[in-house]
Amino acid sequence: MTVIPAPQTDVLRAQDPELAEVLLGELDRQSTTLQLIAAENFSSPAVLAALGSPLANKYAEGYPGTRYHGGCEFADVAERIAVDRAKALFGAEHANVQAHSGSSAVLAAYAALLRPGDTVLALGLPYGGHLTHGSPANFSGRWFDFVGYGVDGETGLVDYEQVRALARSHRPKAIVCGSIAYPRHLDYALFREIADEVGAYLIADAAHPMGLVAGGAAPNPVPYADIVCATTHKVLRGPRGGMILCGGDLAERVDRAVFPFTQGGAQMHTIAAKAVAFGEAATPAFTAYTHQVVVNARVLAHALAGQGLVITTGGTDTHLITADPAPLGVDGRTARGLLAAAGVNLDCCALPHGDVRGLRLGTAAVTTQGMREAEMDRIAALMGTALRTPARAAAVREEVRELTGGFPPYPR
């Protein structure tokens, strides 16, 4: 098991067996159960090596060439490589790779464009908006005046006419498009048109699909949005972290919004790992991966429908599926527990049709493991069994162990 570079595992085991045990237990859990959490993936040993590198020791406040600390010559090179690769990968004029997370990226985007009290139009939380899109429990809901648009209760699709009507009546300073649970492509050109009509900024929070964008398997928001926020750890398969892309006109405002406005020192080991991930994402193998992710999601959605689940929007364009297990006699929360007991990990989430909790799952991680269409059919069948006959959880758990045994996420 070489998820952590072997020498480091040995060092940890010798010095702190208690914690080494925990890390190896987690590796075993990830390797022997199914990871269908839509936001998760398996980053490569090279990405993990960069994360565990001595750049973790380095303080590097500021930006390459203008740091507040000495000794930044290698940190500067790492960050320049990450920025150049991100710009090339997504066709952006400017990239900031310092945002610590997807949420930090959104916070910085708001800081760059908005003032407290400004009106912002975003997908409502019950329809898949993120916490940073106006939740009262988050800074966004406290400091800005959020108006939520929704999805059609029947089709589950974004209601663009409602977006346009709300934009006209509320005259927001910014419109946010992006979701934690939307399985279809967004029409960025239409969002741009609506934003232009009311003189609003367009912020695309593409945390989920940005990896698909890198591989050409989803439309790129960069040509349409003033600012694109993303995570680097979802389909993109890099380290946990955030990223912001924008035009040259907003570059300075975005950089200052990240540091010094909302963050301190850059996490240089993470930035190095982002550079590694962007390098991987520029390869033909990654392009093929992203297209297989979508094929797998479509096959899985179809097979889950065959098991009796109701698939929101009738399918998916992406890695992400939301489904209502109600026809099997369980709600989303109960279903999540039954599936976890059977070794299948996924989330529950709000569903568009009213106050229902359904399931949210994705194919990014299982596809990284090498699973394809046949495995998706098998996963759906196992899920159907686990949901219909909870008494068979242990038997399904054994089948999951056998299935995952053929697709180890890390070389042994």
Task: Give the catalytic positions in this structure.
Answer: 59, 61, 205, 231, 234, 240
Question: How deeply is 12 buried, as exposed, middle or buried, from its count of CB atoms within 10 A (0-12, 13-18, 19+)?
Answer: middle
318 touching ligand PLP, by CB under 6 A: no
Cis peptide preceding 260, ω within 30 of 0? yes
165 φ/ψ angles, rounded to the nearest 5 degrees: -65, -45
Contact between 360 and ligand PLP by CB under 6 A: the answer reads no
* 347 near ligand PLP, rule: CB under 6 A: no
Q: Which two tokens stand for residue 332?
A: 């989303």
Does 41 bind ligand PLP (CB under 6 A)? Our answer is no
Sole binder of ligand PLP in the list 58, 85, 208, 357 (CB under 6 A): 208
Q: By CB under 6 A, is residue 332 in contact with ligand PLP?
A: no
The tokens for 348 are 């529950």
* Contact between 207 and ligand PLP per CB under 6 A: yes
Amino acid at 75: A
C-beta nearest to ligand PLP: residue:
102
Nearer to ligand PLP, 122 or 294 (CB): 122
Binding track, positions 222-261, relative to ligand PLP; x by CB under 6 A:
---------x----------x-------------------
Under rule CB under 6 A, residue 334 binds ligand PLP = no
DSSP3 helix / strand / coil % (the chain, rounded to 5): 50, 15, 35
What is d(CA 347, CA 335) in angstroms, rounded to the nearest whole number? 9
Q: Is residue 409 involved in binding ligand PLP (CB under 6 A)?
A: no
Work out how close the CB of 318 gets to ligand PLP at its nearest, in angstroms, rounded to a whole number.
12
What residues contact 356, with CB distance under 8 A and at least 6 apart? Answer: 324, 326, 331, 332, 350
Q: Does 132 bind ligand PLP (CB under 6 A)?
A: yes
Q: Which is nearer to ligand PLP, 140 or 404 (CB)?
A: 140
Total number of residues shown for the chain: 412
Interface stretch with ligand PLP, choices 77-85, 188-196, 202-210, 321-329 (CB under 6 A): 202-210
Q: How far is the CB of 299 from ligand PLP (least distance, A)?
A: 23
Per CB under 6 A, does 268 bind ligand PLP?
no
Return the DSSP state at 232.
S
Identify the sign of the CA torsion 142, 123, 254, 58.
positive
> Given the complex with ligand PLP, which of 83 and 176 has the nearer CB atom?
176
Q: How far is the CB of 85 from ligand PLP (least distance, A)?
A: 20
Q: How far is CA 43 from CA 3, 142, 290, 302, 368, in A?
A: 10, 35, 14, 27, 9
Q: Binder to ligand PLP among 4, 34, 36, 39 (CB under 6 A)?
A: 39
Q: Which of residues 67-106 bind ligand PLP (CB under 6 A)?
A: 101-103, 106
Among 58, 67, 85, 130, binds ligand PLP (CB under 6 A): 130
Cα 373 from Cα 234, distance rounded (Å): 21
Q: Kindly list the distances between the CA atom of residue 10 and the CA atoms of 7, 45, 47, 411, in Å, as whole numbers in the listed order.
A: 5, 16, 19, 17
User: Residue 341 burial by CB count (10 A; 0-12/13-18/19+): exposed, middle or buried?
Assistant: middle
Q: DSSP 3-state assignment of 354?
A: coil
Does 178 contact ligand PLP by CB under 6 A?
Answer: yes
Assess 352 for contact with ligand PLP (CB under 6 A). no
Residues that bind ligand PLP (CB under 6 A): 39, 101-103, 106, 130, 132, 178-180, 205, 207-208, 231, 242
